[in-house]
Structure 1
Amino acid sequence: MASIVMVYASMTGNTEEMAEAIAEGVQEEGGELVMKSVLDADGSILEQYDGILLGAYTWGDGELPDEFLDFYDDMESLQLDGKKAAVFGSCDSAYSSYGAAVDTLIEKLTELGAEVVLPGLKVELSPSEEDKEACRQFGKQFVRLLKE
Structure 2
Amino acid sequence: MGSTLIVYASMTGNTEEIADLIAEGIHQAGATFVQKDILEIDAAELQHYDGILLGTYTWGDGDLPDEFLDFYEEMNTLNLTGKRAAVFGSCDSSYEHRGGAVDHLMEKLRELGADIVLDELKIDLSPSKEEQEQCIQFGRSFVEKSYSVLEAR
Instruction: Name the TM tier (shorter chain).
Output: over 0.9
Q: Which runs of 5+ in 2 are unaligned?
A: 149-153
Separation of aligned partners in 2, 1:30 and 1:44: 26
Q: Aligned runs of 1:46-85 on 2, under 5 Å?
A: 46-85=46-85
Separation of aligned partners in 2, 1:67 and 1:10: 9
Percent identity reads 60
Alpha carbon RMSD of aligned pairs, Å?
0.6
Q: 1:105 and 2:122 equivalent?
A: no
Separation of aligned partners in 2, 1:130 and 1:136: 10
Separation of aligned partners in 2, 1:130 and 1:88: 16
Structure 2 counterpart SS, 1:76: helix
* Poorly superposed stretches of 4+, deviation over 3 Å: none
1:90-143 CA distances to partner (integer Å, 9 max, x unpaired)?
A: 000111101011110000000000011101000011111111100000000000
Shift of 1:31: 1.0
> Which residue in the other structure is 2:136 paired with?
136
Q: TM-score, normalised by structure 2?
A: 0.95
Equivalent pairs counted in the alignment come to: 148
Structure 1 counterpart SS, 2:118: coil
Indicate conservation of the 8 Å contact 1:2/1:146, yes or no. Answer: no
Indicate conservation of the 8 Å contact 1:2/1:147, yes or no. Answer: no
> Which residue in the other structure is 2:37 paired with?
37
Indicate conservation of the 8 Å contact 1:9/1:38, yes or no. Answer: yes
Indicate conservation of the 8 Å contact 1:90/1:124, yes or no. Answer: yes
Q: Aligned runs of 1:14-33 on 2, under 5 Å?
A: 14-33=14-33
